[in-house]
Structures are given as C-alpha cells and as structure tokens.
Structure 1
Amino acid sequence: MTNVRSLEAELESARELAVDDLADAIESIGFECTRCGACCTGHGEDEHTATVFPDEVRRLEDAPTDDNLEGEAIPDAEDREWRDVARPMPYGLEEGDDGLEGETFEWALETDGCGDCAFYAEDEAGVGACTVHEDRPLICRTYPFSVGLAGTSQPMGEAVDSVSLPAQAGADSEDEAGVLRAHECEGLGREISREDAEELARALKERAVRELEEAIGVRDEYEPADREPGEVVVHDSEGAKRVDGTPLEE
C-alpha cells in the first residue's frame, strides 16, 4: 500500500532534499537541451499545458522579450496583462453555451492559436526558443525532470526513466526516499556537466518546495465559489480568482 503522508510532511521532505544527490541522479541519466521545442509546443489536439505559480505570472507580465525572435504571440511587457500570460488550467472545466465554465485549480501558461506556449518562438534559422528565457517558470527550467516524494502523485505524465534518491536523515524507511523522474525528451542520455547538473538540481528542489507550498495554500484558501453561470473561477494559493487574475470577491 502506498504510504500517504500529509502535505506538510512532504514539504519538510522537499526542503531536506540534497542538491548533491539530485545532481548525481541527473548526471546518471544525462541531459542536454537540443532546442527541439517539443516541451514548448502542442501536439495534435493537445495544447501545451505547463503549470505556472501566481508570482511567476506577475513576473512574466513584466518580463522583457527577445526582440530577435519571430512569431511572438504576446504583447510587449508594457501592454501585457495576466490573461496574456496565463489561462485557467483546463482540467475540471466543462464546455457551456458560451465556452468553458466551472471551477479549476491553478494556472497554465497561455497558448497561441496553434496550441503552443505563447512565449515560444523560432529564430531566423527555425530553431525553437523561449522569448522570456531568463524569466521562464520553474516547470520550464526543470523539464524533463521532476521529483517524486513518498505519497505524492506523479506529475507531467509517465516517466521514461527514474533514479531513486538516498533516504534522507531521519527517514523511518527506504520508502520515504524520493525519486528523480525523467520524462520524454530527445535530450535525455546526453552528457551534462557537474555545474549544469547542480544548477538544474537546485531548480528542481525549489520547484518541489514551491509545488507543495502552493498545494497547501490552495487547500487552506479553498471555498466553493459563488460564481455566475458561464463563469470560470480559478483557485490558487491566494484564493479564488477570475480568469483575469483579479480576486473573485472584488
């Protein structure tokens, strides 16, 4: 039987993750970004879906974009708003008479008309790139890896490879050890420097902590929304919001 632990216990485990252990696991799998764009684009009828935290949305509202990239699907930073950056996570919403409606949890990066991330573009040589690379969210900084801790569900779909992490000090059993998961990406298996592995490991630890802090915030702030017919309400760690990011009670 799976050992189900509280979110608070998971958060403590995430905070205790050793960057060196994560870096070792990343090195053992290997990774180098080939800039193929697969993690930034939609596939068939499936739109690109990447979770973005509320503070990341606000940062991306003001993030400068790379002027050398073509095909930007978002306004310049001075004209950019919440809805240009993020959309309600589609899971749990239903198709109503006037489009999607209902309540959902968390935000996803906005997409363009092709289902690609709105911040994805191609350079003059046709190579994919992020137009806000320096300000990209943690989920983008850490793909194709994720960290699983005892009792947590598996994010980002099925893993194609995984490495068990050493049990942390004070763990009651090996079952409390975490696992580094690698998800489908053509860059897997390539040599990675120790410096890059450690940088990626630090971002993975930060993401694991932030995801659990967000989940706890959503749980603590959640109340069923008194919404209008045809309206979408998004619950995040700051409370219930409209699709433009404004608090529902305003």
Structure 2
Amino acid sequence: MDSLESELDRARDLSVADLADAIAEIGFECTRCGACCTAEDDDPHTATVFPDEVRELQAATDYDFRDVARPMPYGLTETDDGGVEGETFEWALQTDSCGDCSFYAEDDDGVGACTVHEDRPLVCQTYPFSVALAGTSQPMGEAVDEAGLVRAHECEGLGRDISRDDAEAMAATLKERAIRELEEAIGVRDEYEPANPRSGAVVVHDSEGAKRPDGSAYER
C-alpha cells in the first residue's frame, strides 16, 4: 500500500480539469431532497468535519463545540447505561434527536436547506463525490458509480446535467478535500498516543492531539 505521504502527493497533483471531466461524465444536480443531511433508517447522520471546520462553524453560529460536532461513533462501544466509551479518530457533525444533521432544516413545503450553507464543511460541499485515493473517506457507504478517480455515492441527483463551470468548481473543492483528508490522516498518525481512557470516557484523536468530547485537550 502506498504511504499516506505518497497519496498526499498524488492528491496535490490531481488535475482539476480531469476531475471536472469525471464529474460531468457522471452528472449531478442537487435536488434538495435532504437525504445526505438526515438519518437513514436507524443510523444517525455522520459527516466528517475537520477540527478547524468545527471552529469556523462555532464562529459563524456562536455555538459551543458540542453543538457543532460530536465524536465519530465508529470505534466506540456502548456502555450498560446507554452511553459510549473508548477512542475514535474523527469528529462528526452534531445531530438532533432524530439523528439528522443539526444544521438541516425544512421549510413549510418540506424543501430542505442547510442553515450554515456558506460555512458548511468540505464533505458537505462535495457530496455525493469522493476521490479514490487511499486515506480519503467514502461518505454514505460504498460508491455506486465512478469515473477515473472520482467516486459517486448514493444520491438522487446523480446522472443529471451539470454545467462546466459547476463541474470545475466542484472538482476544485473535491481536490481541496482530498488534500485536507490526507493531511488530517497524517496529522492523526503523527500525534497519536494511546489514551487508555477510564471506563465511560471518550477520547477523540485528531491532527491536533487527543481531545475530550467538548474539544478540550485530553490529559493522560
């Protein structure tokens, strides 16, 4: 397997024009269905957010850290009292009591919208696409279509015409996200030290070190 540094070099060398060609070949137009922002069956919405993106959302909303993000549930185990414990390696956008993204809202006609659209994380800006490089994430499960290095994930907007300008804008953001994901992965790897949290505690390892669920540093 290529090293994360090699994959990062590949991400930095990606051609925006080639990515745009792939996006145009697949086709996409957002229908504002809200499926990518809401819970699926019994699975809460999970969208990866970088530490600095959490702070940007805090600044945009004046929310507390916990109102913006939560520990990614993967890797955590449920306790007897219904809580969770353990160590995880990503932050996810916070969800409401229904498991939907806490920044998602519907108008009176049932049309969905992001309440922080201008400040939404890269994973939201680029959905339903991802880049097929090791160390990058695949949102919402396995790809349902692909062209070149671009993977497309389940979305009712796939297959629709997209303008060249929109395809290139999406491609540039998709490249940025791939680079950021790999930089984050390298940072997590370099900063990681087993925290061995006590029973009932949760620790999130990100590129800035080990943290508590409220975003503060975890003292071992």
Q: How would you bin the TM-score normalised by the shorter chain?
A: over 0.9
Q: Does 1:112 align with 2:96?
A: yes
* Structure 1 Cα separation of the partners of residues 136 and 176 of structure 2: 18
Task: Give the letter for the 1:38 counterpart.
Answer: A
* Structure 2 Cα separation of the partners of residues 20 and 207 of structure 1: 16
1:101 is paired with a residue whose SS is: strand
Q: How far has the Cα of 1:183 moved from its partner?
A: 0.6
Partner of 2:204: 234
Q: How far has the Cα of 1:224 moved from its partner?
A: 0.5
Q: 2:20 aligns with which of 2, 18, 23?
A: 23
Q: 1:144 aligns with which of 125, 128, 135?
A: 128
Task: Give the letter for the 1:86 counterpart.
Answer: A
Change (3 A) 1:154 1:247: closer
Partner of 2:68: 85
Task: Give the letter for the 2:89 counterpart.
Answer: F
Change (3 A) 1:17 1:153: closer
Percent identity, please: 72
The runs of at least 4 aligned residues of structure 1 exceeding 2 Å deviation read 151-154
TM-score where L is the length of structure 1:
0.84
2:178 is paired with a residue whose SS is: helix
TM-score where L is the length of structure 2:
0.96
* Structure 2 Cα separation of the partners of residues 187 and 226 of structure 1: 43
User: What do residues 118-148 of structure 1 show as CA deviations (whole Å, max 9, x unaligned)?
Assistant: 0000123220000000000000000000001
Q: 2:142 aligns with which of 139, 152, 158?
A: 158
Q: How far has the Cα of 1:115 moved from its partner?
A: 0.5
Partner of 1:220: 190
Contact between 1:97 and 1:230, CA under 8 Å: does it hold in 2? no
Alignment gaps of 5+ in structure 1: 64-76, 165-178
Alignment gaps of 5+ in structure 2: none
Rg bigger for which structure? 1
* Structure 1 Cα separation of the partners of residues 35 and 137 of structure 2: 20
Q: Does 1:95 align with 2:84?
A: no
Q: 2:150 aligns with which of 180, 197, 217?
A: 180
Contact between 1:240 and 1:248, CA under 8 Å: does it hold in 2? yes
- The 5 Å alignment of 1:47-66 reads 47-63=44-60
Q: How far has the Cα of 1:237 moved from its partner?
A: 0.4
User: What do residues 54-101 of structure 1 show as CA deviations (whole Å, max 9, x unaligned)?
Assistant: 0000001122xxxxxxxxxxxxx33x1000000000011111234100
Contact between 2:136 and 2:182, CA under 8 Å: does it hold in 1? no
Task: Give the letter for the 1:45 counterpart.
Answer: D
Name the count of aligned residue pairs.
Answer: 218
Contact between 1:31 and 1:187, CA under 8 Å: does it hold in 2? yes
Change (3 A) 1:118 1:201: same
2:36 is paired with a residue whose SS is: coil
Q: How far has the Cα of 1:226 moved from its partner?
A: 4.2
Contact between 2:20 and 2:171, CA under 8 Å: does it hold in 1? yes
Q: Does 1:193 align with 2:177?
A: no
